[in-house]
Amino acid sequence: MQNFLLVGLGGAIGAMARYGASIGVGRVWPHGFPLGTMLINIVGSIAMGLLIGILARTLPPWAPEARLFVAVGMLGGFTTFSSFSLDTIVLIERGEMVQAGFYVLLSVVVCLIGLYLGLLVTRGSPA
């Protein structure tokens, strides 16, 4: 149960940070390009790399809890793109290039198709 609470609390903090960052960027850059989302994904991916690198190098006794709270919770709530990026790099570092490419291709293409299908279903046919 403690693991779920760590992820949930971290996720709430990350989601609020994403919302705040998005509003802040939108005020500075009020154009149609999704700069806020792109910056959030970049910052989240950098933060994930730093965190996992530090935890792997130092391996403190609280590393599993920190990973759940910060990586899965906060960064997962801030941007799931950071998790996607980490998974892709892990595959590449294992030398599993085909699987990494397949993962990236399927994740991007199937997610875009899924979103589009969801929109089509909810929009229905014009009356």
Residue (of 85, 57, 88) closest to 71 by Cα position:
85
Measured in degrees and rounded to the nearest 5, phi and psi for residue 126 equal -65, 140
Distance of CA 83 to the CA centre of its chain: 5
Burial class (CB in 10 A: 0-12, 13-18, 19+), 125: exposed
Contact 49, 92 (CB under 8 A): no
Does 79 appear as a known binding residue? yes
Q: Is 76 annotated as a binding residue?
A: yes
| Binding site as annotated, residues for Na(+) | 76, 79
Binding residues: 76, 79
